[in-house]
Structure 1
Amino acid sequence: MAAGSESEGLRQRPVTTVARVFVPSVEGRKKDKLLDKHDQYEFGGPWGVVAIMSGFPILMYYLWICLVFYDGQLVYPTSTEGIRPFLQQMWSHVREDASPNAYAWKVYSGLIAYELLLAWIMPGYMQEGLPVPSLGYKTLMYKCNAVFSVYGTIITAAILHTTGIFRMTDIIDNFGHLMTVAMIYGFGVSFGMYFLTVATGNQIRMSGNFIYDVFMGACLNPRIGPVDLKMWLEVRIPWVIVFFMSVSGACKQYEQFGYVTPNMAFMCLATWLYLNACAKGEECIPQTWDMFHEKWGFLVIFWNFAGVPFSYIYSVVYMASHDPAKYRFSTPIYVMLFTTLLTAYYIWDTSMSQKSRFKMQTQGILAYRKTFPQLPWGTIKNPSYIQTAHGNRLLTDGWWKYSRKPNYVADWIMSFTWGVVQVVLIHRCGRDFERCAVKYGKDWERYCSVVKYKFIPGIY
């Protein structure tokens, strides 16, 4: 797969017969070595990450307080004299309604322990990941059993709810308490993994600045037995919580009003689609940047323990605590809302599948799992691509010939239908493009000339 004459243009031919061993060119190995070391700060450097690590939890508390106690309005002091009482009122809400109480510790810790147990014991499909430059291009195996784990969790929750042992309505009622415990886990695991990694000498790509390295992470592939912690946390905790928050809101509505509103049903469907997609397509995750390049630090850990599950679900929190008459839509609006969600989901699911399976085709390890739903056009036969001097291939077919990030566009649209602005992907996209520009050089410029639009075809 070294660079040759085929790097001069696009190729329309099967890629399923390529050898399993990836050997980058000499130039490719040099660029991988450059990318696999710290050479510049991101996120504004040490001061920037301090601002993020302190500011984001404060923002989460502020938005939750506005949502629950001020009818969704953004509140603020109207004079300098009002700053102190305003801050005292904010702190009072956190102290009383978001304390890390025994219930929150029991429920959140129980979920973590149960999901780790299921990830360890449930049968699963073994998927080979991408070659990892820092490991001498060795590929790691990943146990993909999220489908069994997720539906095992759903069945367990249904039994506990119907027997009265654990009522689903209690989850949404303890949102603030659970959020605080999740934040504690996010900080604790981030710092704990940093110290453990450094103590065992497994750190890579370090800057030498303590707080920055805690934020970006020190370890690349942390594992407990057969469980890859990075992949486990990406799927099993945030999206399970998001889904059960929606179910909890629906259960509370049913107990209060005797019915579930179309709005709440929409959120149950939307969060199930996302959770199920991550589970049924889990074998695609090892092919992502998250697995083979992104380290396991605060950036990823806090976001998955606390950021995703307690930021993406504000619409459910609002609906569960307000009269349905305040947000009732007409039938055409509901039709448009559900249609937009399902259309965006289809593009998101199939674009992610196209990219990941193209990488599997390139490695010669593509296999199909019998999970539901497998959507049409999830795999491209004889895809066109650009062969780079690095040795990798850049897909220019399927959804990926219209945009460099069709999955992000679809993800944004789904998020907007949830009532959540997902700005995190904008910066992530910039980081990805910068990395590709260094890695592929002129081949990236050629790729950008073929796939002209970053996001929305014909617009941007």
Structure 2
Amino acid sequence: MMFWGVGIVSYAWKQYELYGYVSDSMAASVALQLVYVAKFFWWEAGYMRSIDIMHDRAGYYLCWGCLVWVPSVYTSQAMYLVQTPITLGTPLAASIFLTGVLMVWINYSVDLQRQEFRATNGKALVWGQKPTFIVAKYTTEKNEKKESLLLTCGWWGLSRHFHYIPEILASLCWTLPAWNSSFVPYFYVFYLCILLTDRAFRDDARCRAKYGQDWSKYCERVPQLIIPGVL
């Protein structure tokens, strides 16, 4: 993640070296990605409770992805724009950037809502109201009886993985400055759609096996997996 920020700034600098200026498309894309990277570090404690850390863990898949895939693919939009300085115009560039910032904020708000709900053991207000939730019981490998609180209101009442929607839309916003010049910079967006959809189904199957009937009750309360009213 650190290289993500350093890498895209380096690409912007390279464009400046080549052409003597940084295009508004590069500026919008890089600035938005820096906002996203900053959000990641601000929310880093929450990431430690994500499926990456809690279940996938630091194996080949995660380590290779962080050391190779992220630096090369996640920064590909800015790399492409180095030699393709597209001029969007200030109104369009600003609109794309501000829309992207909104998506990053929504993504952060969704994750923070659940984080605060868990930290207060279900006592934190959700959108100013008392939260509704399912008490899901499970048994650990050591045969210990435990329970989790599954939030069924707020952002988490819209779908079980609503936070993936602003994640994808944010990535689309920092790719749009490449406009329609090539499919290459859009590869990341398509990849992210596949990755997060697969992750949603994997997480759903894992939780169903973990919580059993309580997960079925939760799915009755929040029937949509990702997109409200669609999927």
The match for 1:154 is: none
CA drift of 1:259 comes to: 2.2
For the structure 1 residues 414 and 378, does the alpha-carbon distance in structure 2 shift closer, same or farther, using more than 3 Å as the test? farther
CA drift of 1:400 comes to: 0.6
- What is the rounded CA distance, in whole Å, between the counterparts of 1:330 and 1:262 in structure 2? 7
- In structure 1, runs of 5+ residues without a counterpart are 1-238, 367-376
CA contact (8 A) 1:358 1:380 kept: no
Amino acid at match of 1:296: A
DSSP 3-state at the match of 1:388: strand
> Map of 1:242-257 to 2, 5 A cutoff?
242-257=4-19
- What is the rounded CA distance, in whole Å, between the counterparts of 1:312 and 1:378 in structure 2? 33
- What is the rounded CA distance, in whole Å, between the counterparts of 1:454 and 1:255 in structure 2? 46
The match for 2:33 is: 271
* 1:341-372 CA-partner distances (Å, limit 9, x unpaired): 122111101111112222222299x9xxxxxx
- What is the rounded CA distance, in whole Å, between the counterparts of 2:36 and 2:128 in structure 1? 22
- What is the rounded CA distance, in whole Å, between the counterparts of 1:378 and 1:349 in structure 2? 15
The match for 1:290 is: 52
* 1:129-152 CA-partner distances (Å, limit 9, x unpaired): xxxxxxxxxxxxxxxxxxxxxxxx
The match for 1:393 is: 149
Pair member with larger Rg? 1
- What is the rounded CA distance, in whole Å, between the counterparts of 2:227 and 2:45 in structure 1? 27
For the structure 1 residues 332 and 306, does the alpha-carbon distance in structure 2 shift closer, same or farther, using more than 3 Å as the test? same
CA contact (8 A) 2:28 2:97 kept: yes
Task: Provide TM-score, normalisation by structure 2.
Answer: 0.80
For the structure 1 residues 279 and 381, does the alpha-carbon distance in structure 2 shift closer, same or farther, using more than 3 Å as the test? farther
Aligned-pair identity in percent equals: 29
DSSP 3-state at the match of 2:228: coil
The match for 1:232 is: none
* 1:265-294 CA-partner distances (Å, limit 9, x unpaired): 122222211221121122222332333333
DSSP 3-state at the match of 1:293: helix
The match for 2:97 is: 338
- What is the rounded CA distance, in whole Å, between the counterparts of 1:280 and 1:328 in structure 2? 32
Equivalent of 1:450 in 214, 218, 221: 221
* 1:242-283 CA-partner distances (Å, limit 9, x unpaired): 111211122122233332111111222222112211211222
DSSP 3-state at the match of 1:418: helix
CA contact (8 A) 2:110 2:156 kept: yes
The alignment yields a C-alpha RMSD, in angstroms, of 2.4
* 1:71-105 CA-partner distances (Å, limit 9, x unpaired): xxxxxxxxxxxxxxxxxxxxxxxxxxxxxxxxxxx
> Map of 1:50-449 to 2, 5 A cutoff?
239-322=1-84, 324=85, 327-362=86-121, 382-390=130-138, 391-419=147-175, 420-421=188-189, 422=192, 423-449=194-220
CA contact (8 A) 2:29 2:97 kept: no
CA drift of 1:340 comes to: 2.5
Tell me the matched-pair count: 208
- What is the rounded CA distance, in whole Å, between the counterparts of 1:411 and 1:258 in structure 2? 33
- What is the rounded CA distance, in whole Å, between the counterparts of 1:269 and 1:295 in structure 2? 30
For the structure 1 residues 459 and 330, does the alpha-carbon distance in structure 2 shift closer, same or farther, using more than 3 Å as the test? farther
CA contact (8 A) 2:113 2:126 kept: yes
DSSP 3-state at the match of 1:349: helix
- What is the rounded CA distance, in whole Å, between the counterparts of 1:244 and 1:331 in structure 2? 25
CA drift of 1:378 comes to: 9.1
Task: Provide TM-score, normalisation by structure 1.
Answer: 0.42
CA drift of 1:438 comes to: 0.8
Amino acid at match of 1:384: T
CA drift of 1:332 comes to: 4.8
* 1:37-71 CA-partner distances (Å, limit 9, x unpaired): xxxxxxxxxxxxxxxxxxxxxxxxxxxxxxxxxxx
Amino acid at match of 1:429: A
